[in-house]
Structures are given as structure tokens and as C-alpha cells.
Amino acid sequence: MSLASPLRRAALILCAACVTSGAWAQGGASSYNVGATATGIPFTFLDVKSNSIQGMMVDTVTAVGKAGGFSVNVQQTVFSALIPSLTSNKIDIISAAMLKTAARQQVVDFSDPVYSYGEGLLVKADDAKPYTSLDELKGEIVGAQVGTVFLDMLNKKGIFKEVRSYDSVADLARDLALGRIKAALADQPIMAYQIRQNTFQGVRLVDSYKPVNVGDVCLVVRKGDTETLARLNKAISAIKADGTLAKIVQKWGI
């Protein structure tokens, strides 16, 4: 065997590596691991029938992948572990009901918004008053879920007889239906979905109330991952332009 043969094979391998590397640089990864929570319906939730994570943000990241030319592998991750899983490279993208905040922006990067929402005002189903402001509830007993910005909003207003905190929106809705509190604040799209599904009965969302604390739901990537971020933003723009995103939002009724 001549010396030229091994050298030629080495050269071919090197060329192939260069071509592969070039394709990777131009197109990026062909698949991404995506973290989503099993709670947070209708954004993300565990569908017990299929034993898979479903929801608006799952449909959204899947559509983004299709538009961007890559596949997604959605993995169940608890909310508190989403960012740590991302920064430790266990996942590549977060697709969940995670609002963009200044504090989170110091640790991760957010895509262009895919959905925006704020607080919803809840009252008893038989309370037909068209509330437009929290000021109209001065002196009343109100409530919100622990750990939310909505609870902070109520406390900072300083106009209520009492502000009660709840571990879950289910507990909040129950007390509201029983008349133990006059009104409550919660995630508008989540409550709207639950009410339509008859999960929470005896309460209603006030249509005349306009949220004052609106935030953006985005896809999330590691800090400085400009390549993936650019890919996501391009694909998000595409599914907005062709109406795909609007159909997803309509499908989940949010």
C-alpha cells in the first residue's frame, strides 16, 4: 500500500468534516431539546391519555421548529427547574408560560414575543357590575395566588380591607364562588380556559376590566446563544405572518 492512499483518505475525511462543519454553521442544529411544564394549562400540561406534554406553547414551539427546519423533543420539566436545566445544557429551549422579566433577562435570553397577557379580574358569577379598575373594590376583601405579581399588585394598592393569598387558583376560585372574597386577580388566559372548561364554576372574568400588568410569553434560550435565538425569531416571524400562530392561539381559546 502506498503512502499516498492513507494521506488521500485523511484528506477526504478532513474535507468531509469541513463540509459538515460548514453545514452546521449555516443551518444550526437539526433537533433541540425543549423544556415544558406539566402544569399551566392551557399553555403546557400533561395529557394523561397520551402521557405527553401538550398545550399552546408545545404547539407553538413545534410550529416554530417546522418553520425553522428543525425538530423538537419536548421534555417534562418542573417550572422551578426550567432555567437551571437550560443553563446546565440539559435542554436547549424553554417553551412554557414564562413571562419575560428584567431579572430573568440577566440569566437567559428571550425570543420575540409569541403571546402577551396580563391579569384578569374575577368576581362571583352573579356580580354583574362592569368593573374597570381595582379602585372600585376599595374596602373589599380580595385575593390572589402566592408567588404571583398579582398578589404584590393588590398589596401595593393599600386600599383593601384584606388581601388574602392562596396556594392555588382552584382554592382562590372556590373562596370567590362561596363569597368569602369579593374579587381576585389571576392569569387571564388560564382562568378563561378553566372557566370555559367548567373547571371553575360560580365565578366570571370581568370583560370590562383592562389589565395593567401585561407581560410577554417568549421562547427562552441560553444567554449569548445568538444563533439559536436568531433561528427562533426568524421562524416566529414566519408563523406570525402566515397565520399559524393565530390559529394555535384560537385553538386553545386564549
> Model confidence over 207-246: pLDDT tens digits?
999 999 898 999 999 999 999 999 999 999 999 999 999 9
pLDDT band at 147 (very low <50, low <70, confident <90, very high): confident
Interval 104-122: pLDDT, tens: 999 999 999 999 999 999 9
CATH of 119-205, one of 3.90.420.10, 3.40.50.740, 3.40.190.10, 3.40.50.2300: 3.40.190.10
Q: Where are the domains of the chain?
A: 30-116+215-251, 119-205
Which of 14-28, 171-185, 201-215, 233-247 is predicted least confidently?
Answer: 14-28
**pLDDT higher than threshold 80 for residue 66:** yes
Interval 78-112: pLDDT, tens: 888 999 999 999 999 999 988 898 889 999 999 99
**pLDDT higher than threshold 50 for residue 20:** no
Which residue matches cell numbers 393569598? 165
**Rounded to an integer, what is the distance from CA 110 to the centroid of its chain?**
11
Question: What pLDDT, on the 0 to 100 scale, is given for residue 27?
Answer: 58
**Which is it for the CA torsion 182, 215, 68, 72, positive or negative?**
negative
Helices 188-196 and 169-177 cross at an angle (nearest 10°) of 60
Question: What pLDDT, on the 0 to 100 scale, is given for residue 146?
Answer: 84
Grid cell in block for residue 168: 392555588
Q: What is the mean pLDDT of the chain?
A: 88
Which tops the pLDDT comparison, 38 or 14? 38
Tell me if 30-116+215-251 shares its fold with 119-205. yes
CA angle 66, 70, 73 (to 5 degrees): 95
* CATH number 3.90.110.10 given to 30-116+215-251: no
Full-model pTM: 0.71
CA atoms within 13 A on the CB side of 52: 8
